[in-house]
Amino acid sequence: MGGPVNQFISRSPKTDLRAHSDDVALWQSVRKGNDLAFSNLYQRFSNLLFNYGMHFCYNRELVKDCIQELFTNIWNRRETLSEIDSVKHYLFKSFRNLLIQHINRKRKFFAELNETDEHTDFDLSIEDELLEQDFRKENEKKVSNGLTKISKRQREILILKFFNDLSYNEIASIMSITPASAHNLISKALQCMRVVLKSLFLGSFLNYLA
């Protein structure tokens, strides 16, 4: 049921506005311990989070573990959760922290195995590189995908903006950057996408000629 329902909810902008206030009402019910509101929250956000997670780190199991942990935490701490303006912002920010925690934990494990501890830089671990390669391969199977050709951070911000319609301030807070850099990063990302798409189109055209 999750798929079609979510699609339906995000279909019209009017529903988006309502979905926002509904989110807040849902959140309040979760805080009061309503388990049906909790399952509704899961149903509403699990796929959005999954999509974002998979672009962040192409590791299906790790992303699913993080979703599980995120919702388990919410329920277990429901009594201490504060009232929030944007449920979506809260979920994505917490989810991103969990993803980084899990990736680091995994990396530490591999580092110990290799008896090296030089993989402290977040963007440049061997494992990430491997996952990144998997991601590109997987996506190249789908026809001409510009997203595979842009940088990781550009991709992340596009996913947040395009699929989740978060505001620049929210995105900035999630990615720990300033709103101004969020603006810049998005326009860079889209600029790259357009260049890539044009060259891909040209490429397939040339292929067709040859």
Partner 1 sequence: MNHFPPDYDNFSVDDFVIDPLFKEWVLYCDPNHNEFWTDWKNENPTKAPLIEEARKVVLDIEKSKFELKPKELYKVWDAIQADIKPKALPEPSTHKRYVWPLAMAVASFSLIIMAWIWFDSPTEIEYVTAFGETKEVTLPDGSNVILNSNSKLTFVDNWEGQMAREIWIEGEAFFSVVHKLDHQPFKVLSSQNVSIEVLGTEFNVYNRSQETEVVLTSGMVTLSFPVKEKEGKIVMNPGELVEFKESRFQRKKVNTSLYTSWKDKVLHLDETSLAEIITMARNNYGIEIEFQDEEILMQTASGSMPLGDAANFMDQVSKIFNIEIVDEQNKYLIK
- Of 14 and 113, which CB lies nearer to partner 1 in the complex structure? 14
Cα→Cα distances 111→51, 74, 114, 152, Å: 28, 31, 5, 23
**Binding of residue 54 to partner 1 (CB under 8 A):** yes
**Binding of residue 16 to partner 1 (CB under 8 A):** yes
Would you give the binding string for partner 1 spanning residues 149-188, x where CB under 8 A is met? ---------x--xxx-xxx--x---------------xx-
Q: How many positions of this chain bind partner 1 (CB under 8 A)? A: 61
Would you give the binding string for partner 1 spanning residues 80-119, x where CB under 8 A is met? ----------------------------------------
**Binding of residue 51 to partner 1 (CB under 8 A):** yes
From candidates 62, 115, 142, 199, binder to partner 1 by CB under 8 A: 142
Q: Applying CB under 8 A, which residues contact partner 1?
A: 1-5, 8, 11-14, 16-18, 22, 25-26, 29, 34-37, 39-40, 42-43, 46-47, 50-51, 54-55, 64, 67-68, 71-72, 75-76, 139, 142-148, 158, 161-163, 165-167, 170, 186-187, 190-191, 193-194, 197
